Amino acid sequence: MRLPLRVRIKDVGGIKPALKLTIALGSAVCLAALSAFILSREPFAALRAFFLVPFSVQSTFLSMIEASAPLALCSLGVVVTFRAGHYSLGGEGQAYAGAVAATAIAQASAAHAGSGATLLAIVGAAAAGSIVAAIPAAGKRYAGADVLLTSILVSQGVIFSMDWLIGGPLRDSSINLVAMKAIPSATLLVRLAPPATLTMSPLLALALCYAGWWYFERSRAGAAHDMYGKNPRFAGLQGYNEAVFAWAPIVIAGALHGVAGAVMSLGFMGTAIRGMSGGIGWSAIGSALVAGSNPAALPFSALLFSWLDAGARQAAVLADLPPDSGQVIKAVVILTVSARPAFNARRTLPLPGARR
């Protein structure tokens, strides 16, 4: 018997985040093993590369944690908007703008601001992400425009603009890579355990995720935020400021995406490369869904996705698994945790013939 599935875009409540993470981890492990046997001619080498190498080689493991930081920050941005009922899909453009802004500011201020240039670059990146997000936010606040549509349109426009900036006026023409000039090494985030790429950014992501958890679970404003997300009119009747929730979560999410972009360019990459944000918006939405929109679970869902990327790359290097298999596994994991058998839903519907 085939069970129809329904997909829950916004997921507050329902099964607990820990259970979701467990389901996601389990399905990821099964899918990775399956893909190793189906797609690779060296399945055991692929399995070893996917499951052991990311955890057994110290630099790979720590670099994997580093790679999870921007994803966790973007996922937190997704949770902030989704829990306010705004389905903003513009994260990638916001992160990309943040990365370009951070690189430009770090270069411009390195000589004058010293070690403060790093902080300045992060703040500037947050501002850049906020500005990009402010466009759909203003559309929602003043014209009631659909954030789902406007955010993705604005994001795509910003991606094209950043591509043009990096490939044109801001490009380092002395190198063959399409990238901006390298950020002076003194301005980059300090690497904690070379040769691993690990910096302080996972701790920053962890702190912000915990702050997000406290906001949603322990503060009155967080409760109002959730209430607005479920029913804006009811939140207004309760005396909460509807006007603020109509735009502020979108702009704050933009700032978080911008910081994620800064973390990428101020980390090992050390500059902004054309196309560097590719797929982070989509991955962040997936990570937020896997975490059940709970900020406390975001570092773990981001780490799960980071492992899928690192494991797939290792399996491509050490065996012959296609490197993009990690993306496919991610997609199936997202569907697995988001889709439920329809009989679950039918329980809440009235039976045929029942009085309404």
Partner 1 sequence: MNRFLAFVFTVLTLSSCAKETAGPDPLSVAVFVPGVASGSPTYEMLVAGATKAVAETEGASIKIIEAGYDQATWMDRLRDTVASGEFGVVVSSNPSLPELCAKVSRDYPAVRFIIADAYLSGHPAIHTVLYNQKEQGYLVGYLAGLVTKERSPGKPPVAGLIAAQRYPTLDKLIRPGFEAGLRAVDPDFRLEYREIGNWYDSAKAAELAAALYGAGVEVILPIAGSAGQGVVSVADERGASVVWFDGAGYRMDPDTVIGCATIAQDKLVYERLKSALGGDSSRYGTADIVSIRGGYVGFDPDGPGYANLPESIRLAMTTAIGNLAAGTPDFSFDTF
Under the binding rule (CB under 8 A), the answer on residue 157 touching partner 1 is no
Nearer to partner 1, 15 or 138 (CB): 15
Interface residue with partner 1 among 100, 274, 289, 337 (CB under 8 A) is 274
3 vs 175, beta carbon nearer partner 1: 175
Picking from 19, 31, 69, the residue whose alpha carbon sits closest to that of residue 198 is 69
- Cβ nearer to partner 1, comparing 235 with 297: 297
The answer to whether 214 contacts partner 1 (rule: CB under 8 A) is: no
Look-up: residue for tokens 């902030």? 80
Q: Name residues whose C-beta falls within 8 Å of residue 152's C-beta, 6 or more positions apart in sequence.
A: 89, 90
The answer to whether residues 321 and 35 touch, using CB atoms and an 8 Å cutoff, is yes
Is residue 129 a contact partner of residue 259, using CB atoms and an 8 Å limit?
yes
Q: Are 50 and 312 a contacting pair, CB within 8 Å?
A: yes
> Which string of b and e fits 295-332 if b means at least 16 CB within 10 Å?
bbbbbbbbbbbbbbbbbbbbbbebbebeeebbbebbee
Residues 65-104 that bind partner 1 (CB under 8 A): 65
The structure tokens listed for 281 are 């918006």
| Interacting residue with partner 1 among 4, 114, 116, 278 (CB under 8 A) | 278
177 lines the binding site for partner 1 (CB under 8 A): yes
Question: Interacting stretch for partner 1, rule CB under 8 A, among 106-114, 148-156, 252-260, 267-275?
Answer: 267-275
The DSSP secondary-structure symbol of 340 reads E
Axis crossing angle, helix 58-82 with helix 91-113, rounded to the nearest 10: 120
- Check residue 41 for interaction with partner 1 (CB under 8 A): no
- The one segment of 26-34, 109-117, 121-129, 310-318 that binds partner 1 by CB under 8 A: 310-318
Q: Is residue 195 involved in binding partner 1 (CB under 8 A)? A: yes
> Is 323 among the residues that bind partner 1 (CB under 8 A)?
yes
Q: Which of 32, 46, 100, 310 binds partner 1 (CB under 8 A)?
A: 310
Say how far apart CA 228 and CA 248 lie, in whole Å: 12
Please give the span between the terminal C-alpha atoms of the chain, in angstroms, as a whole number: 30
Task: Report, in Å, the least distance between residue 77 CB and partner 1.
Answer: 21
Check residue 297 for interaction with partner 1 (CB under 8 A). yes
Judged by CB under 8 A, does residue 194 bind partner 1?
Answer: yes
Can you give the binding site for partner 1, defined by CB under 8 A? 16-18, 21-22, 53, 55-63, 65, 163, 167, 173-178, 194-195, 197, 268-270, 273-276, 278, 296-297, 300, 303, 310, 313-314, 316-318, 323-324
